A = this chain, B = another copy of it.
Amino acid sequence: MAETHRPDPDRISALPVPEEADLDSDLRKYFDICREKLGLVPNVLRAYAFRPDRLRRFIDTYNEIMLADGPLTKLEREMIAVAVSARNRCYYCLVAHGQAVRRLSGDPELGEMLALNDRMAPLDARQRAMLDYARKLTDDPETADAGDRERLRAAGFDEAGIWDIAETAAFFNYTNRMAHAVEMMPNREYHAMDRAPAGAAAKGEAAAGGAPADGVDDGD
C-alpha cells in the first residue's frame, strides 16, 4: 500500500479509516452520541476504529481518566493534556484539548499559553506544581522522585491527586505517540471554537454545553 509523504489535513489517519456505516452498532451508537453532545465525532475515534477492540478500550480509559469523578477538575485534566502534548508537539491533541481548555476555562489565552509554553501561564501554586510535574514526567520520567511527590502534597494534592496527575500525564504520553504514529489530523471545527476573549462569555466549567474534546460524559 502506497501512501503520500505529505501530511494531508483531509486525511484523518495514515492507516486505514473504516466507513462509519461498517462499524459495529455499539460504536455507531457512540458516534451518534458524540455528534449529539459534542457536535462532531472526534477524529481520534475514527482513527482508532481501524482496530475496534482498541477503540472500545480507548473510550473506556479515556472517559475514566478525563471524565470520572476524582480529585482533579475536568479543566485541570485538560490542562495536563495540553501541557504534555506541547512537550511532545502532538498536533492532534494540542488542537483538540486546546479547544477543551478554552471552553472549560472560558479563557482562550490560557489555552494558547498551555499549548505554546505553559511556563507563561499565570497559574496559582497548585496548578503550577501540577504542570511542572506533568512536564518532568513527560520529558525525563526516570528522575521523578519523592521530592516531586512532596512538592505536590505541599501544593495541596492528596495521594489520589498525585496518582491522577501522574496517570493523566502518562496517558497523554500514550495518545500523543499514537497520534504521531498515524499522523492523526484533528477535526477542523476545533480551530475556530471558543476563541471569544475572556469576558465575552460566561466562564468556566459551569458554562453551557460541551463535554471534553474526545469523550462523552455519561453523567452530563
Contacts and interface: CB of A to CB of B under 8 A. Distances in A.
A184 B133 CA distance: 17
Interface string A148-170: 01100100000110111011011
Given A112-B191, A192-B197, A177 B173 contact: yes
A205 interface: no
Residue of A65, A122, A169 with highest tally of chain B CB at under 10 A: A122
Given A1-B153, A95-B112, A116-B115, A166 B142 contact: no
A83 to B, nearest CB: 12
B159 A170 contact: no
A171 B175 CA distance: 8
Interface of A: 1, 3-9, 14-16, 50-51, 53-54, 57, 60-61, 64-65, 68, 86, 88-91, 94-95, 108-109, 112-113, 115-117, 119-123, 128, 137-138, 141-147, 149-150, 153, 159-160, 162-164, 166-167, 169-171, 173-178, 180-183, 185, 188, 191-192, 195-197
22 contacts: A6-B122, A6-B123, A7-B121, A9-B109, A14-B146, A50-B159, A51-B164, A53-B68, A57-B57, A60-B60, A95-B116, A108-B191, A108-B192, A112-B191, A117-B142, A120-B185, A144-B177, A162-B181, A166-B177, A166-B181, A166-B182, A192-B197
